[in-house]
Structure 1
Amino acid sequence: MDKDLLEPSAITFQVEDRLQATLLNLPDSETIALISSNQQLTYRELNQQANQLAHYLQALGVKPETLVGIYMNRSVDLIVGILAILKVGAAYVPLDPGYPRERLSFILEDTRAQIVITHSSLISELPTNLTHVICVDTSWEVLAQQNTENPENLPLPENLAYVMYTSGSTAKPKGVAMSHGSIAHYIKSLNQTLKIQASDTYLHTASFSFSSSVRQLMLPLTQGSKIVLASKEQTQNPLSLLELIEQQQVTVFDTVQSVWRYVLKQLKELEPASAQALVPSSLRKVIFSGGLLPCLLYQEVRQLLGTEVNIFNVYGQTETIGTSVFPIPATFDKRDGYVPVGHPLAHVQVLVLDEELQPVAADQKGELCIISPGLARGYFNLAELTAKRFIDYSLPDRTLVRLYRSGDVARFLSDGMIELLGRTDYQVKIREMRVELEEIEAVLEQHPLVRQAVVTAIDDANDGKRLVAYIVTNQSDSQQVELNHVLREFLKTKLPEYMLPSVILKLEKLPLTPNGKIDRKALPTNLELVQQDLAVGYLPPRNDVERELAEIWQKVLGVPQVGIQDDFFELGGNSFTAVSIFGQIESKFGKQLPLGSLFERSTIESLAEVIQETTSQLETNNNPGSSTKQIVKIQEGDPGKTPLFLVHALGMSVLYYRDFARYLGSDRPVYAIQPLEVEDQSTVDNLEALASLYIKEIQTIQPQGPYLLGGHSFGGKVAFEIAQQLQQQGQDIAFLALFDTYGPNAMIRLPLHKRILIHLNNLYSQGPMYLIERLGSWYGWIGGLAKTEYERWTFSKAQKQSESMSFEILKRGIEDFHSDLQNRYTYRPYSGDIHLFRCTEHETLNYYGVELDKEKLGWDKVATGGLTIYDALGKHLTMFDEPYVKPLAENVKSCLDRIRKSASLPEKGNLLK
């Protein structure tokens, strides 16, 4: 081993290099610091807003070592909140809104955090025993009165900066406590290699519950760079990230390898010209993090981006923030195995030790151990575990140091670089997120049906890993399929989504070694065999159509084998994968099927029947209670209950209503009205005609009222018109729900003098950059308009020539059709009750010269019969996603229950149930 690796010298920085010297006093500059959706802040604005919140926190008694929870979605306010907490020397505790409530409650109880910074739309999810909840979106009048100057008495390096919870080996997560000084050491060392500059635009994609978010926030801020904060929706769609990179001219893309896997996979499915158009042209640095980087994946990314882009592989643990970095040379040509993680950072010492904690010989493997002033304090409230992983260690010169045992198996290569080889325990990375398998096992064994549980990680078809749970039950007659569903629903209440097993397999007994321990090596690790055992009556494809469909499903869903009776949704399918599948079906078979058909045709077997049927056979399927041409049954429900009809949003499928229907209760029949097919659009020339057509289809299922109606966005406008026409027929509308639907007076264009004032203020505060950005915005608008017109021309040409249209062009045609209908729609007063479920998180619009009626969304003047408004979590496009959809459905269910109890008894047969 290199002797220098054992030398303790030159591994610390002076106190004046601490974080607060470069970060907590942000520059008084008009340079853009942060962009999130349509919001942006200069460094001056970011610093002043953080200072105001910091002074408010100090007034509440927050001081060094105080723990403050921060419970917000990705937004400008989230960044302001983190900086404010750090400015007063306190520590932030990130609380992810996507986590189950039980996990959030545990974190708050464990840290005893009594103050939480949040948004008003999320407050209902928090415990009621908190001392103080600060809703920054509704408290800015108070905050604006606070001092904008930097707080005095900067925090010391040893003060706690954050407590971040990661997977633990028990049924509970464990909190890693990190100091201000640890962050400072890491950021300074890392940039000696990465060399981020003030001219860079850095894309932030990491969850704020993971330590990589610290790098993606602090590194660009300390260098005066611009941060582009990707939304949650963008982080879940790799192609959206590519579009964002090009739109914002991002120069630094820091993300996990799984994102690149999906980027490459999706680009391969596009036409070469379309794929090339998405390849970012502005990137100069790409940073990989989160785990073992396959050499083959690196080579594919290098080939895509070219040799001019600098690519780095960074490595570290939550307990160290970061350990090493490898600037991968363009000449790196290894294709097998994994990319090394490079040399230790300047402030880090790395040792490779054997089981006796003695250094191993050069090129031999052992446990990677780390000595650094940047180590965490330890695990919060877990002294025994801290003492086990953070130990006192004597170097050869008898210097006593603090050492962290990482649990990673590694070795030093001949050039001194570190190569990772595996783990000493049962910790794995799922989509580059750390998972302790023992935590999942412990949670499973809390369920009364489970006697024993073992969880493993199996390689999947996409070069990643998926979790498989093996259980022994307390009931020998429990059915596999039912058991799988029950346990998954139980786990959802306790674990984050990325920790949920893909498969839960029942075994008669767990295999044991001769000394009585569980033999993990004897568990079935072939995912194909596991899935075959899981499937009840597994049937392979029987003909060419089923075989080709199975291949499409396997490729898109990332599973090695699909039986013809396997359910699309049970395999993890969603609206995004459905679009890809149906696009490939259209390409392969020339059949353009509505996405909503998956509700009743969710297996290979049933979907193949649709493809093999003739068009006339499909159109004559008018059996009562089954799908008409536009209506699909989402949920069977109780035949004695009144069904709920939900209308599609603009150009969208109705698949995203599935979870909403499930949370309403299995007894409620739910139907969705899917978009009109392209060939039928010529029969409808206005929104009133579209509503009339949908009414005819609704009445094939429910001939008489009372009716329950709802729609999201554009669908709410159609539902509104359906209710109008049904009332004219003399029908009773018991419930009309508009889900974040903008009414006729929602958008109010500001007077000319106010618009001019806005532009002048922006020009004054942002300088010439504002003019440049507005010109760029107008240029992008013109380019977008030209692209739209080209797509419309292509769509029209394909229609006239009866050519097969790509799924994207088809989608554009449907969106344009809906936009045209709503733009020409004339609203009339409605005498019934309207239930408006309004998202409280809306984009800032006055930047563009209009104001949004955020309170009533413009419905007050037409809702003559009554308007009841409910706050909904999430944003316009995410309100039907987890975790927001469950409270939304519960709110609607409560409305329906109140209506049922208060309704007078109508004629027999029409009783609302």
Structure 2
Amino acid sequence: MNARGPVGERLLTRDGLPVLPVPAAEVGRARELAARHGMSSAREVDLADPVITRVERFAAERDRPAVTDATRSLTYGELAAEARRVAALLEREGVAPGTVVGVGGARRAAVVAAFLAIELVGAVYVPADETWPAGRVRDVLAQAGATLLLAVDEGEPAPALLEGAAAARVRVVPVREADALDPWPGDPRLDSLDQPRYVLFTSGSTGRPKGAVVEHQGMVNHLHAKIVDLGLTGADAVAQTAPLGFDISVWQMLCPLLVGGRVDVVGDEVAHDPVAFARAVDERGTTVVELVPTMVRHLLDDLPHAPEGSLSCLRWMIATGEELPTELSRRWLAAMPHARLLNAYGPTECSDDVTHHTVTAGDLELLRLPIGVPVVNTRLYVLREEDDGTWAACDIDETGELFVGGVCVGRGYLGDHERTRDAFFQDPFGATPTGRLYRTGDAVRLLPPGAGGDPRPTLQYLGRVDRQVKISGVRMELGEIEAVLQRHPAVGAAAVVVHDYPA
């Protein structure tokens, strides 16, 4: 098969996925439990509206700042015009709907324009971070079947990007060449809601990265989930802090544009310096920040060195990517009572986050924080594998593995049918827009109403399923032991492993 053909040619159809072995009685029970415990979320969302359409609407209604970086600020009108010039560049280079376009370089406003341009012409976005070694760049571009790499940096691209692109036989086109072109005049090419929108590569246990394909409908649904749960408006400014290769970078650079807000692109030199980052948040009036818990800890540690009143404009701190420790949450709530703390969980394969939980003082009594309830149009099932290989539904306080269904579930791994079949299944629990069910590999427990003060049942993350061990016949979750250790004020982080010793 031609590796550089349209993405759809290298993906399994739903009918090509395996059927998860769930007995009929358990199918009905799983549906009933998901409905009873609030693990099935439905909401009417307009998934057919491309992001560029909303950008141009705001530009026409009342122009306002759309995206800023360290060197420039673009209004909605300027962003739309730049996106259309880049779209003209893509068409000049022969980019067709369904083909993959790499975007390489540092975080900057030009990346946002490039994504919108790729959306305009119906192509598929795959990022290549400037910090990656050449081998990683080569593997990602080659596996994705990219036709070209848009270099967004103002000067020469990083040597590793050039070397990796050359090894993958992908031509490099500086995005600045679009400056001399007339804007592309066409309408956004959106043939169907399940059209692939981007590919992000996650680490594979074999050492070979896996390209998770996310559809237009899944991406837009996740953007609306953030708008709904964070209450985002045109007054908000979201910090884009994530490297381009991480899924959260997508919502950070697109979500504010759906409500008329602003994207604040923060470079690594500032994002990795807690005091400089706090200063940037204050100077720009940033209202929403998302960081991994490790960086939240560094931020709190260094706040005493920042000016008094730092981060006073912040409305939300979102923690993701790692388990959020209870003690770190306690510190945040004490230091930043004006900024709510959101615990977010989700796999790249399911369009980013699938659960949200706003942390409260009541949660601090728990050893491990809840990860919450499903975001809009997402169905969650907690299942356990029986001795005969079939799956059964888990009820309150029972530990099982988390499966995800709904509009958020992606298309699988690009060009990798074997690993797709290991994680993606035909959804046996009911009709959904994708018809797919994703196996996360994460162990969870459904907490009863009232746990942590939440009146609803909520999910609690317990670690990877392969981290459950038996010692002297007793089942133990290594993550539970880590959580207890991390409650001690002298312990910053903990990792527990099991060693077998000869008798």
Would the TM-score normalized by the shorter structure come out above 0.5? yes
Gaps of 5+ in 1: 428-458, 468-519, 525-913
Indicate if the aligned counterparts of 1:163 and 1:177 stay in contact, CA closer than 8 A.
Answer: yes
What's the counterpart of residue 311 of structure 1? Answer: 341
What's the counterpart of residue 116 of structure 1? Answer: 149
Question: SS where residue 301 of structure 1 aligns?
Answer: helix
Pairing of 1:830-909 with structure 2 (within 5 A)? none
Counterparts of 2:296 and 2:260 in 1: how far apart (Å)?
27
Instruction: State the Cα distance separating 1:200 from its structure 2 match.
Output: 1.1
Counterparts of 2:39 and 2:297 in 1: how far apart (Å)?
39
Counterparts of 2:91 and 2:495 in 1: how far apart (Å)?
45
TM-superposition CA deviations, 1:221-272 (whole Å, max 9, x none): 11111111111111211221101011111111222211111122223xx5xx
Opposite residue 54 of structure 2, the aligned amino acid is T
Gaps of 5+ in 2: 1-32, 450-456, 469-484
Match status 1:161 vs 2:194 = no
Match status 1:105 vs 2:138 = yes
Question: SS where residue 242 of structure 1 aligns?
Answer: helix
Instruction: State the Cα distance separating 1:289 from its structure 2 match.
Output: 1.6
> Of 251, 255, 262, which aligns to 1:215?
251
What's the counterpart of residue 271 of structure 2? Answer: 235
Match status 1:412 vs 2:443 = no
Structure with max Cα Rg: 1
What's the counterpart of residue 454 of structure 2? Answer: none
The 1:523/1:247 distance shift into structure 2, 3 A limit, reads: farther
What's the counterpart of residue 67 of structure 2? Answer: 34
What's the counterpart of residue 389 of structure 1? Answer: 423
Q: Report the structure, 1 or 2, having the larger strand content.
A: 2
What's the counterpart of residue 480 of structure 2? Answer: none
Instruction: State the Cα distance separating 1:280 from its structure 2 match.
Output: 1.4
What's the counterpart of residue 498 of structure 2? Answer: 521
Question: SS where residue 370 of structure 2 aligns?
Answer: coil
Indicate if the aligned counterparts of 1:203 and 1:229 stay in contact, CA closer than 8 A.
Answer: yes
Instruction: State the Cα distance separating 1:424 from its structure 2 match.
Output: 1.4
Counterparts of 1:289 and 1:413 in 2: how far apart (Å)?
20
Opposite residue 81 of structure 1, the aligned amino acid is A
Indicate if the aligned counterparts of 1:5 and 1:351 stay in contact, CA closer than 8 A.
Answer: no
Indicate if the aligned counterparts of 2:378 and 2:404 stay in contact, CA closer than 8 A.
Answer: yes
What's the counterpart of residue 369 of structure 1? Answer: 403
The 1:149/1:299 distance shift into structure 2, 3 A limit, reads: farther
Counterparts of 1:25 and 1:462 in 2: how far apart (Å)?
51
Indicate if the aligned counterparts of 2:329 and 2:359 stay in contact, CA closer than 8 A.
Answer: no
Indicate if the aligned counterparts of 1:11 and 1:373 stay in contact, CA closer than 8 A.
Answer: no
Counterparts of 2:369 and 2:38 in 1: how far apart (Å)?
24
What's the counterpart of residue 374 of structure 2? Answer: 344
The 1:385/1:31 distance shift into structure 2, 3 A limit, reads: same
Question: SS where residue 337 of structure 1 aligns?
Answer: coil
The 1:31/1:83 distance shift into structure 2, 3 A limit, reads: same
Instruction: State the Cα distance separating 1:112 from its structure 2 match.
Output: 2.0
Counterparts of 1:243 and 1:523 in 2: how far apart (Å)?
49
What's the counterpart of residue 358 of structure 2? Answer: 327
Counterparts of 1:376 and 1:226 in 2: how far apart (Å)?
27
The 1:266/1:466 distance shift into structure 2, 3 A limit, reads: farther
Opposite residue 463 of structure 2, the aligned amino acid is G
Counterparts of 2:67 and 2:102 in 1: how far apart (Å)?
22
Instruction: State the Cα distance separating 1:381 from its structure 2 match.
Output: 1.3
Opposite residue 97 of structure 1, the aligned amino acid is E
What's the counterpart of residue 402 of structure 1? Answer: 436
Moved more, 281-290 or 363-372: 281-290
Indicate if the aligned counterparts of 1:186 and 1:347 stay in contact, CA closer than 8 A.
Answer: no
Counterparts of 1:55 and 1:121 in 2: how far apart (Å)?
22
Opposite residue 191 of structure 1, the aligned amino acid is I
Opposite residue 214 of structure 1, the aligned amino acid is V
Match status 1:81 vs 2:120 = no
Pairing of 1:227-626 with structure 2 (within 5 A)? 227-267=263-303, 270=304, 274-275=305-306, 277=308, 279-306=310-337, 308-320=338-350, 321-329=352-360, 331-332=361-362, 334-355=364-385, 356-395=390-429, 401-415=435-449, 416-425=457-466, 463-464=492-493, 521-522=498-499
The 1:37/1:150 distance shift into structure 2, 3 A limit, reads: farther
The 1:245/1:328 distance shift into structure 2, 3 A limit, reads: same
Counterparts of 1:158 and 1:218 in 2: how far apart (Å)?
19
The 1:422/1:150 distance shift into structure 2, 3 A limit, reads: same
User: Of the two structures, which has the highest relative contact order with CA contacts closer than 8 Å and spacing of 6 or more?
Assistant: 2
Indicate if the aligned counterparts of 1:11 and 1:372 stay in contact, CA closer than 8 A.
Answer: no
What's the counterpart of residue 91 of structure 2? Answer: 58
The 1:14/1:222 distance shift into structure 2, 3 A limit, reads: closer
Pairing of 1:173-188 with structure 2 (within 5 A)? 173-188=209-224
Question: SS where residue 313 of structure 2 aligns?
Answer: coil
Over the matched positions of the two proteins, sequence identity in percent amounts to 26
Counterparts of 2:40 and 2:433 in 1: how far apart (Å)?
8
The 1:425/1:84 distance shift into structure 2, 3 A limit, reads: farther
TM-superposition CA deviations, 1:170-205 (whole Å, max 9, x none): 021111111111101111133221111101121111
Indicate if the aligned counterparts of 2:405 and 2:432 stay in contact, CA closer than 8 A.
Answer: no
Indicate if the aligned counterparts of 1:190 and 1:325 stay in contact, CA closer than 8 A.
Answer: no
Match status 1:22 vs 2:58 = no
Indicate if the aligned counterparts of 2:65 and 2:75 stay in contact, CA closer than 8 A.
Answer: yes
Indicate if the aligned counterparts of 1:393 and 1:403 stay in contact, CA closer than 8 A.
Answer: yes
Counterparts of 1:279 and 1:180 in 2: how far apart (Å)?
38
Indicate if the aligned counterparts of 2:119 and 2:189 stay in contact, CA closer than 8 A.
Answer: no
Instruction: State the Cα distance separating 1:30 from its structure 2 match.
Output: 2.7
Counterparts of 2:495 and 2:198 in 1: how far apart (Å)?
30
Indicate if the aligned counterparts of 2:40 and 2:378 stay in contact, CA closer than 8 A.
Answer: no
Opposite residue 362 of structure 1, the aligned amino acid is I
The 1:362/1:32 distance shift into structure 2, 3 A limit, reads: same
The 1:131/1:288 distance shift into structure 2, 3 A limit, reads: closer
Counterparts of 1:220 and 1:110 in 2: how far apart (Å)?
31
Indicate if the aligned counterparts of 1:20 and 1:154 stay in contact, CA closer than 8 A.
Answer: no
Counterparts of 1:82 and 1:30 in 2: how far apart (Å)?
20
Instruction: State the Cα distance separating 1:117 from its structure 2 match.
Output: 0.4
Counterparts of 1:152 and 1:179 in 2: how far apart (Å)?
15
RMSD value, Cα: 2.9
Counterparts of 1:303 and 1:244 in 2: how far apart (Å)?
22
Indicate if the aligned counterparts of 1:200 and 1:225 stay in contact, CA closer than 8 A.
Answer: yes
Counterparts of 1:235 and 1:60 in 2: how far apart (Å)?
34
The 1:21/1:30 distance shift into structure 2, 3 A limit, reads: closer
What's the counterpart of residue 136 of structure 1? Answer: 175
Counterparts of 2:213 and 2:317 in 1: how far apart (Å)?
29
Opposite residue 194 of structure 1, the aligned amino acid is L
Instruction: State the Cα distance separating 1:69 from its structure 2 match.
Output: 0.8
TM-superposition CA deviations, 1:621-640 (whole Å, max 9, x none): xxxxxxxxxxxxxxxxxxxx
The 1:408/1:9 distance shift into structure 2, 3 A limit, reads: closer
Counterparts of 1:181 and 1:152 in 2: how far apart (Å)?
15
